[in-house]
Amino acid sequence: MAKTLPRSPLAPATFPALPEIGGLRFASTAAGVRYQGRTDVMLAVMDPGTSVAGVFTRSATRSAPVLDCQAKLGSNTEQGAAILVNSGNSNAFTGHYGQTSVAEITAAVANKTGLPQDRVFTASTGVIGEPLPHDRILSKLDELNGALSASAMKDAAEAIMTTDTFPKGSAATVDIDGTPVQIAGIAKGSGMIAPDMATMLVYIFTDAAYDQGRLQALLSAENDTSFNCITVDSDTSTSDSLMLCATGASGVDATDHPAFTEALRGVMLDLAHQVVRDGEGATKFVEIQITGAASDADAKIHGLAIANSPLVKTAIAGEDPNWGRVVMAIGKSGAKADRDLLSISFGDVLVAEKGWVAPSYKEELGAAEMKKDEITLKVDLGLGDGSATIWTCDLTHQYITINADYRS
């Protein structure tokens, strides 16, 4: 989709001020991968000593860049690292052509930056099934390598956008033993968003030092309650990539430090929420709180059943407090539920309980909740201590418009 989409009404007012991360530099350019006149390639280069962790889609049809990144995780941290990302073409389902493109790009980036090829990671996002014109990217590597700057993270965020209506960034500063440690991240994602993971690219950087094995464990754990708890349209991408890079430039070892974990969690949740707020055609940001489930796993199943229901999502778009559709989604989820024990609330308005509409419920109260830009749906199953929180958005006519015209 070459035309510019209107900015999401749920977008943050401004792009945040992101700190410079020691040992990290960015550059971006317009290579014309699919469209002319827009930046579509970004390069990030990190100094020796950088630990790299990653979580990727488990799609059976995942892309060549994803497979290559997965194979390279755990490589020698004594070397620097680089990440090159293009938008406009996902380099997925392209057979040996996709593998060739990845090999050509990683070899060329390694040559330009002086890094080993097994420390060069790539990602591609955009149309599936078309060979990546990687020569267009290779022709821009001298320009990218010469333009690397510590202050160019926002430009990198813009270069990886597809149907996104705003660039996504987040940052945090955490004090560890009297020394400030910086965390900053960027993301893209708008449609084809569903857990395991969502269709998105996320890159988070810190100047902390962190043991590589423990960094991988940390990222995997925090992903389960952030990016794996968002959904826009229930479709899982071939290209999902979430990477966390710790340059160590601050000289502070943050391995397993609780304050660092908390700060990282905040950045990941912020970026995950921004992806939902930029859901294709979204006008409502929805938080679904599930409590009282038989287990946390059951709670997540119920939450996703509600969040992914087209009937629930269109009712929210129409500002209709149709709580019967929530009942339907719970009943079909496959997780344990008892009609006579569950309760449903819109915000603080109790809607249904004990197998029936709540005696105190008035339709105008539910309707008032549905008119808000940010809506909370609460379900208590009354079965146990399991809980989960899922984030989603509504489903509007604009979603159809965007996706009916995606390749033109």
Q: Residue 241: beta bridge partners?
A: 56, 201
H or E element that contains 287: strand 285-293
Catalytic residue list contains 401: no
**Residues contacting 348, CB < 8 A, separation 6+:** none
Question: Which one from 199, 231, 392, 396 is the annotated catalytic residue?
Answer: 199
| Residue 241: half-sphere exposure toward Cβ, Cα within 13 Å | 31
Centre a 10 Å sphere on the Cβ of residue 49 and count the other Cβ atoms it contains. Answer: 16
386 φ, ψ (degrees, to nearest 5):
-70, 140
Q: Look up residue 232 and give its two tokens.
A: 């826009």
Q: Look up residue 168 and give its two tokens.
A: 């996504």
C-alpha distances out from residue 338 to 14, 266, 312, 321, 341, Å: 45, 34, 20, 22, 5
d(CA 294, CA 94): 43
Catalytic amino acids?
199
